[in-house]
A and B are shown apart, each in its own frame.
Chain A
Amino acid sequence: MAAASGDDRDLIERSRGGDVAAFDLLVRRYEKQVYSTAYRLTGSYDDASDIAQEAFLRAWNNLRSFRGDAAFSTWIFRIATNIFLDERKRARSRPQRSLEDVMALEENMVTRQFEDTGPSPQDRIEMRERQEVLERAILSLPEAQRVMVVLYHTQERSYEEIAEIMNLPMGTVKSRLNRARLALKNRLAPAAELFPVSESPNT
């Protein structure tokens, strides 16, 4: 369990006392992580904005219930992912979009904000293509698995922290993440040539 870093803890203390500027610093420190997470979970910039803003608002309103023994990041990720999961639960009563709909919609959406100055144009096109394929595959996962994949792979959260964020036993997190990766692998196998052979995580 990661405890709040000293700097965060000071800002949280001051925020609890009503210091808006201190909370503003916390928002700026975590906005990119929270927004990115929300975007990866929803595939929509608008939804990501709503979720991320709501998450910070709830955090501010519930600062009193924040336990100092947890990291602020753990807490804010938990709030954001709960907002996402609750919203999806509500949305489930409405007709669900098929994966094809999601994919069709995503075509227009993924063109923004992925500027990367490094690679050559050809590499960049391939990279973009790879990212889009991955994004769509992530969006096809069941919500709870999606949350785990996003937290582990794009936010570099440990199994322990994900277990804490999702309030699940670590064994459950590990086995579900494994299942989610296998599902992604099966879905992406036809496009495997997009993914370069790289040093595997197990060297």
Chain B
Amino acid sequence: MTDGSAPSGDGAAGNRSHRFDRLPATTEDRRVPDRPTRTGVLEWWDERFGVDPSVFENHTFWERGSGKIWAFAGESPSPVDIEGLGVAFLRTRREHWKPTLEAVQRFGGHATRNVMALSRAEAAAFLAGEDQERDWDGDWGYLVVAHELAGEREPLGVGLYVHGELRSQVPKGRRRDFRED
């Protein structure tokens, strides 16, 4: 798999909002200061959630706008100016990186750490955007929130655990209220 070492991929122009730039493989290949690297992204998923880097061997990572990382399984030169490239995957602008709901639903099944399993009623509250008090002996910060569906644990979205509380990070457009069902 090739990576962001392509000379065209990392020009002096830095981040332009409509353009996708492939992430450089490592910090040595990096030409835009502070741009995350493929290695950094793989290490983060591994450290935070125990997702093995091989899970992403068919995907390249791209930045569009500052700190918005996308995962793409196809082939494209870099940079490329188009409307979409795979799925929005990770936010890296703040100190604590935050996975998207789409990334967690698509790849969170491989997580072995920092996965909080909810009951059906708790999952309904989470999906409705409700924050809930909970005990948790894992790390604080962003978690994969899962519940059981059709006999298996299934990742549902991203939660933020702080101060004894699970805060739902389900984006407004993706919330549903199944609490009465």
A binds B: no
Q: Interface of B with A (CB < 8 Å)?
A: none
